[in-house]
Structure 1
Amino acid sequence: MRVGIIGNYGHNNNGDEAILAGLIHQLTASGFVEKENIIVFSNDPSNTKARHGVASHPLLYKEGNTAKSALKTVRESRKVMKQLDLVIVGGGGLLMDMYKRDAPLYSVLGLTAKASGCRVAVHGVGAGPITTKMGRFFIKRLIQAASSVAVRDEKSRRLLREIGISKDIHVIYDPAFSVPAGVAHQPSGRIRKVGVTAVPYFSSQYWPQADPAKYEAYLNGMAGSLDDLIERKELTITFFSTKYPEDVEVTKDIAARMNHQQHIENLDENLGPEQIVETAAAQDLVIGTRLHSLILSVNAETPILGITYHKKVRDFMEEINKPEYAVAVDDLSQLVPAFEKAESEWEELQVEISTRSNDLKENAAEGMNLLQQKGQN
């Protein structure tokens, strides 16, 4: 069996790299495929090869204009795909049109794989937002080309139904739950150590449409709430990131606005997925903004509060039956009450997250059954 994996890999986004690490682990641990028979279509093939020890091919070629880039991408990708048996369009929020390249790129690559004689699987992905005719067109074509479709949450399945997709859609959990967790959160008597991740929300250096006023309000809201928690609860805060270096910069911006510098540690290195699990496991609680900081924290059995900068974060908090621990990014004054709720239910919350973690890991692994099916496109 020779398998290709397509996704948003090679961008130093360790949430996406966690998905890939989990997916490779699932494929190889199950005996479905040998590691040397996996090839990843990546934004940075050398980065992917070094990180994951697999062969890699460019996801996209750039040739001066969109048409030339598309033609070269299809031509070069097809050369590789003709040697493969299965191509997985897998992991992350790939079925969306918030970024204009995503829906056309992943759809065209999936269709190229099918035309090359591969079985195509859409696997462990998130859907939404899907708001444009072009986005709906390309996403529907990709789904139609796939022999199996598995999304990472129930809301993604409902959204695909809403845009007119009638074929079977399975719900599995994110492959990042299969990242090997060498250590797990140890139950504690109270919350003392808190990990925090942040995203450059409306930052001019990162966001598709920047809004400096919103970015400043976000920084001040995070800084004020964290200072308040330190004062009231005698906490230590550890900032860490899943997107390097962008998230390191925003955590530095937040920390610079805080009064209690002596209670802050900022981890400014590029942590890999297993290091993120280890970092999360060392905390009593993680306040996470990036989705995969929350997923990897639950992987480590560490309780979480989610900052809902994007619908996928709220969706995840609902999937783990903890919507009351989700805090809206534009109302960060609610972070302290959410923390106090966690504090009041601390013993029970730790047990619930540990149990849910094990359930999610089992469910993520069961997604391999879909990939091992021999159905035709």
Structure 2
Amino acid sequence: MKSARSDLDIDVISRYPTSSGYLLQQDIQQDALFLHNSKSGKGLVGSFKRKVANRLMPDIMMAHLGKGGVFKSFAVPPHLKAFTESLAKYDAIIQVGGSFFVDLYGVTQFDHALCALMAKKPIYLIGHSVGPFQNPRVNALANFVFDRVNSLVLRESVSLDLMKRDGVTSSKVAAGVDTAFLVRAREVENPSHNLLHWQGIISSRKTIAITVRELAPFDKRLGVTQKEYEAAFGRVINAMIAEGYQVVAFSTCTGIDSYAKDDRMVALTLRDHVEQPEHYHVIMDEFNDLELGILLSHCHLTIGTRLHSAIISMNFGTPAVAINYEHKSMGVMNQLGLPQMATDVKSLMDGSLIDKVKSVLADYDNIKLKVNTAVANEREIGNRITEEILKVLG
């Protein structure tokens, strides 16, 4: 946006402003709604109150936004009212995806959009994957919100298929791209010792990069336990090492700033399944997207459970195979015209992922060319969408 319009003042909020500001080297403001939700609900009574509040909140907000009914007699919760009032000074709200609007994540994911609607501000949901919406309450809320936003720009078309299947309105949907493709590949002016250290390790031997995660809350929907997932990934690592590669585990989600998920812990447990651990490394350092991209650019291939890692990798010139634990990875790869670069968790479990990776490596130069062409096209589309939104804002 800054490159398209130099006269913009942009405030960025994050659930973790300290770590985000550190990694991005810019001022980031605290997401007040996340702070409220994370601090409330301690203990048995607090947890019960939070669950009751979360159950009532969407009905109260929708009632005040024009739906009416008995819930309009309830006051808007103070933290939502305060956040709504804080939006008064802005001309527009842009909520960047992500995959937030998913039934398993619950109704609070819609808080920011509801507050923007309460504040009567234009709101654009950019670069999202959404759905499924099999939970009736989340489905109703999604219908209400998505019908009222200015635009819901999806980063892939599988989300649109899920919306139609689950009966969620798609009237405001526009085709878009994942915003991570807009990160410009460039070098760091003053690389840290840690970055140089890992560049050296990766350059010392042909490298396959991987990302792993704690599967919950998707484990039950997938029918795969965490232990089964880790054992299967261990077999992939062993197969790659047997082909002459070293394997380096990257992380796009870490425990920095008290975040509950830390992919590094999962990566460390994989050591127990690796037959030649001297060729398996886990990056424990904190790197931003630019630094991750620089390191991934020195790798030969990325096998990513985290879609973000696959996108960063491709954005910096390294092909990636994305493992679908939900639909978004398949959708993004389909949109790139690279459906063969997406695979499901079942292929990980039955070992066919190893054959897929070997086929990619066998046709590497051709696939690398296709990836680079597709990414350049996505970046062009993303920049055009950004410019169009700014034109609408005036």
Secondary structure class of the residue paired with 2:318: coil
Contact 1:157–1:171 at 8 Å: present in 2 too?
A: no
User: Within the alignment, does 1:46 sit opposite 2:18 as a pair?
Assistant: yes
Deviation at 1:323, TM superposition (A): 2.5
Q: Does 1:234 align with 2:266?
A: no
SS in 2 for 1:234: coil
Q: Which is bigger in relative contact order (C-alpha 8 A, separation at least 6)? A: 1
How many residue pairs end up in the alignment? Answer: 335
- Establish whether residue 29 from structure 1 lines up as the match of residue 9 from structure 2: no
Equivalent residue number for residue 87 of structure 2: 81
Asked whether the 8 Å contact 1:317–1:326 carries over to 2, the reply is yes
After superposition, what is the alpha-carbon deviation per residue over 1:296-329, rounded to whole angstroms, capped at 9, x for unaligned?
1111121112222222222222222333233332
Does 248-257 or 191-200 show the bigger shift? 191-200
> Mean alpha-carbon deviation: is it higher for 141-150 or for 349-358?
141-150
Give the number of the structure whose residues are more often helix, by fraction. 2
The RMSD of aligned alpha carbons is 2.7
Task: Supply the AA of the counterpart residue of 2:310.
Answer: L
- Distance in 1 (CA, whole Å) between partners of 2:7 and 2:13 is 17
Q: Which has the higher strand share?
A: 1
Contact 2:33 2:80 in 1 (8 A): no
Using the size of structure 2 for normalisation, the TM-score is: 0.77
Distance (Å, rounded) in 2 between the aligned partners of 1:276 and 1:212: 31
Aligned 8 A contact 2:180 2:312 in 1? yes
2:186 maps to: 182
Shift in alpha-carbon separation, 1:74–1:32, aligned structure 2, 3 A: farther
Aligned to 2:283: 267
Q: Structure 1: which 5+ runs fail to align? A: 1-26, 184-190
CA positional deviation for 1:336: 2.1
Partner of 1:197: 211
Q: C-alpha deviations, 1:207-244, integer Å up to 9, x for none?
A: 7869997211111111122212211x211111111111
Does residue 378 of structure 2 align to residue 367 of structure 1? no
- Shift in CA distance, 216/123, structure 1 to aligned 2, threshold 3 Å: same
- The alpha-carbon deviation at position 32 of structure 1 amounts to 5.9
Any idea what SS the aligned residue of 1:94 has?
Answer: coil
Q: Rate the CA distance shift 1:293–1:156 in 2: closer, same or farther, 3 A.
A: same
Asked whether the equivalents of residues 200 and 207 of structure 1 are also in contact (C-alpha less than 8 Å), the reply is no
2:374 — aligned with what?
Answer: 356
Is residue 335 of structure 1 aligned with residue 309 of structure 2?
Answer: no
**Equivalent residues of 1:327, 1:334 under 8 A apart:** no
Aligned residue type for 2:283? L
User: How big is the shift at 1:368?
Assistant: 0.8
- Paired with 1:84 and 1:219, the residues of 2 have a C-alpha distance of 46
Q: 2:229 aligns to what?
A: 218
The question of whether the paired residues in 2 share the 8 Å contact of 1:195 and 1:237 is answered with yes
User: What per-residue deviation string (whole Å, max 9, x for no partner) do you get for residues 6-61 of structure 1?
Assistant: xxxxxxxxxxxxxxxxxxxxx22211653xx3233432333344444234132331
Counterpart code for 1:351: L
Bigger-Rg structure (1/2): 2
TM-score of the superposition, structure 1-length normalised? 0.81
Structure-2 residue corresponding to 1:311: 327
CA displacement 1:102-123 (0-9 Å, x = unmatched): xx33434323212223111121
3-state SS of 2:346 partner:
coil
2:338–2:371 contact (8 Å) kept in structure 1: no
